Chains A and B, each alone.
Chain A
Amino acid sequence: MATAHGKLTKIQITAKDISPFTKNSQLERAASTHDTTGYAPTGDAKLFAGGTREAKFTCSGVYDNTVSVGPRLVLVGNEGTSMAIIRNVEGIGTGKPNEAFNAILEKYVETNPHDDMVTWSADFQVTGPITVTALP
Chain B
Amino acid sequence: MNLKNVAAEMRTALLTVPNLRVPTWGDGGAIGTKGLALIGWPDRVELTATYVRGKARVADWPIYLLATGQNRGAHDLIAALIGDTAPASANLALEAGAYTACDFVHVAYAEIDPAARYQGSPVIAAVLHVDVNGPGK
Task: Find the B residue at minimum CB distance from A9.
Answer: B51
Q: Say yes or no: B50 contacts A62, CB within 8 Å.
A: yes
Q: Count of chain B residues with Cβ under 8 Å from any Cβ of A?
A: 14
Say yes or no: is B75 at the interface (Cβ < 8 Å to chain A): no
The B interface is mostly helix, strand or loop, or mixed, namely mixed
Q: Which of B54, B108, B131, B136 has the most CB of A within 10 A?
A: B54
Say yes or no: is B34 at the interface (Cβ < 8 Å to chain A): no
Partner of A11, one of B49, B51, B133: B51
Residues of B within 8 A of A23 (CB): 49-51
- Alpha-carbon gap, A19 to B53, bound state (A): 9
Which B6-52 residues have a C-beta within 8 angstroms of A? 48-52
Which B105-137 residues have a C-beta within 8 angstroms of A? 106, 108, 131, 133, 136
Task: Find the B residue at minimum CB distance from A115.
Answer: B108
Residues of A within 8 A of B53 (CB): 7, 20
- B92 smallest CB distance to A (angstroms): 16
Q: Say yes or no: B108 contacts A22, CB within 8 Å.
A: no
Known A115-B108, A117-B133; judge A10-B50 contact (CB<8 A). Answer: no
Say yes or no: is A132 at the interface (Cβ < 8 Å to chain B): no
Question: What are some 30 contacts across the A-B interface (CB < 8 A)?
Answer: A6-B51, A7-B48, A7-B53, A8-B51, A8-B52, A9-B52, A10-B52, A11-B51, A19-B50, A19-B51, A19-B54, A20-B50, A20-B51, A20-B52, A20-B53, A20-B54, A20-B55, A20-B136, A21-B55, A22-B54, A61-B50, A61-B51, A62-B49, A62-B50, A62-B55, A62-B133, A64-B103, A66-B103, A115-B106, A117-B133
Instruction: Write the residues of chain A forming the contact surface with B, with a CB cutoff of 8 angstroms.
Output: 6-11, 19-23, 61-62, 64, 66, 91, 115-117
> With A20-B136, A22-B50, A62-B55 given, can you name 8 additional A-B contacts, CB distance below 8 Å?
A6-B51, A7-B48, A8-B52, A10-B51, A20-B55, A61-B51, A66-B103, A115-B106
Q: Which 9 A-B pairs have the closest CB atoms?
A: A20-B54, A19-B51, A19-B52, A7-B48, A22-B51, A9-B51, A23-B50, A61-B50, A20-B50
Instruction: Write the residues of chain B forming the contact surface with A, with a CB cutoff of 8 angstroms.
Output: 48-55, 103, 106, 108, 131, 133, 136
